[in-house]
Amino acid sequence: MADDLYTRYMAAYRTWCEHTARCTTCTTGQPACPDGTQLHERFTRLQDAYLNRQRKS
């Protein structure tokens, strides 16, 4: 069974990348619109949670 946290982290990353590909104000490293801000925050929260768990293993 796939790791659920990793799966959600990667899905958030893909969603963020798809958003930045079509948003004219956001860049890959910096959100600049309300939707982009929300997507980027979700991605970074999940990334932090995943990496913190990996460090503890």
Using one digit for the tens of pLDDT, what is the confidence trace for 29-56?
899 999 999 999 999 999 999 999 999 8
Is 13 buried (19+), middle (13-18) or exposed (0-12) by CB count in 10 A?
middle
Residue 2 has a pLDDT of: 55
Return the closest-CA partner of residue 49 out of 20, 2, 10: 10
Report the 10 Å Cβ neighbour count for 39.
22
Does 1 score more than 50 pLDDT? no
Does pTM top 0.85 for this prediction? yes
